[in-house]
């Protein structure tokens, strides 16, 4: 699937596609700072106890360079000559954050849920911050993927950053089909139980209901009869980067909302 073909068939996604292209292009132009791979031995006990990697004091991953990359991305977008609301908002945010002492550290803490930083464009900072930080974290996420015993996690939140999933993916063929959950923030994918709702887990091991979307071969909505939460699911392999990007299926969020379902999945597109 190429973005052009997708956008021909889903022209209403064009504005968010343009935004995503503009931000990714700017992000590709900033220097990727080195991330240290943590000691897995030090982190192991926290992992077994369900503590995600980034908040773990035993793993001690320093996210400050990711915050610096986020600052650089913001500065780059703010200095571009384009007009429109993205340019205006990034400029305002850039000016505002320049007044903060230790801003890179503050942005990194903000991304992990610290609420003492109260930027005027919160959603935008989360989106740009995670876009830059995911690039910084890529080697750590890859090393963590290789080290992690998926059977020992199977939790409803991201093993790297602790966020709720943004989407799900089904891989393989029955009877060995697996469900992966995907983090829209740090881009980790992790294994979860094949049945059951990740938003009200513990209730029952009930099956989610699947809602097929007319004309969509690869995407469907799985929803929970109990808590009415839904999870957009990519039922395919090979186009993860595209289909798990969340923005490519924002029309499914509209369909789900029209049916009275709740989005409890995290999203960086609530700008």
- Binding region for Zn ion (CB under 5 A): 158, 160-161, 163, 183, 185-186, 188, 197, 199-200, 224, 226-227
Q: How far is the CB of 157 from Zn ion (least distance, A)?
A: 8
Which 8-state DSSP code applies to residue 229?
A: B
Closer to Zn ion by Cβ: residue 163 or 248:
163
Side by side, the strands of the sheet bearing 209-212 are 189-192, 178-182, 167-171, 230-234, 219-223, 209-212
Peptide bond into 175 cis (omega under 30): yes
Q: How far is the CB of 183 from Zn ion (least distance, A)?
A: 3
Q: How far is the CB of 118 from Zn ion (least distance, A)?
A: 23
Strands 167-171 and 209-212: unpaired
The candidate with the shortest Cα–Cα distance to 181, out of 264, 76, 64, 66, is: 264
Closer to Zn ion by Cβ: residue 224 or 252:
224
Q: What is the 3-state secondary structure (H, E, C) of 44-96?
A: HHHHHCCCCCCCCCCCCCCCHHHHHHHHHHHHHHHHCCCCCHHHHHHHHHHHH
Closer to Zn ion by Cβ: residue 90 or 187:
187
Q: How far is the CB of 52 from Zn ion (least distance, A)?
A: 8
Closer to Zn ion by Cβ: residue 78 or 111:
111
Q: How far is the CB of 268 from Zn ion (least distance, A)?
A: 11
Q: How far is the CB of 127 from Zn ion (least distance, A)?
A: 14
| HSE value, Cβ hemisphere, 13 Å, CA-based, for 134 | 18
Which 8-state DSSP code applies to residue 155?
A: -
Q: Which CA distances in Å does 158 have to 28, 68, 233? A: 25, 23, 16
Closer to Zn ion by Cβ: residue 12 or 226:
226
Closer to Zn ion by Cβ: residue 78 or 197:
197
């Amino acid at each position: 699937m190429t973005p052009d073909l997708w956008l021909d068939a889903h022209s209403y996604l064009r504005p968010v596609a343009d935004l995503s292209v503009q931000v990714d292009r700017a992000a590709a132009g900033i220097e990727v700072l080195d991330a240290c791979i943590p000691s897995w031995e030090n982190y192991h006990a926290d992992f077994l106890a369900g503590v995600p990697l980034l908040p773990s004091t035993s793993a001690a991953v320093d996210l400050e360079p990711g915050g610096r990359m986020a600052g650089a991305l913001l500065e780059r977008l703010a200095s571009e000559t384009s007009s429109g609301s993205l340019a205006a908002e990034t400029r305002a945010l850039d000016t505002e954050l320049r007044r903060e002492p230790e801003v890179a550290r503050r942005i990194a803490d903000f991304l992990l849920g610290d609420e003492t930083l109260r930027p005027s464009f919160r959603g935008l900072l989360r989106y740009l911050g995670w876009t830059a930080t995911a690039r910084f974290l890529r080697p750590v996420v890859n090393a963590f993927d290789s080290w992690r015993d998926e059977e020992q996690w199977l939790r409803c939140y991201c093993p790297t950053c602790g966020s709720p999933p943004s989407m799900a993916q089904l891989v393989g063929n029955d009877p060995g089909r697996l469900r992966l959950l995907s983090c829209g923030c740090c881009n980790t994918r992790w294994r979860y139980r094949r049945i059951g709702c990740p938003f009200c887990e513990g209730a029952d091991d009930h099956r989610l209901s699947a809602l097929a979307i007319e004309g969509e071969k690869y995407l469907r909505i799985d929803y929970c009869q109990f808590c009415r939460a839904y999870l957009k699911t990519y039922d395919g392999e090979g186009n993860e980067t595209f289909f798990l990007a969340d923005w490519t299926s924002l029309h499914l969020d509209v369909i789900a909302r029209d049916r009275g379902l709740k989005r409890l999945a995290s999203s960086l597109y609530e700008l």
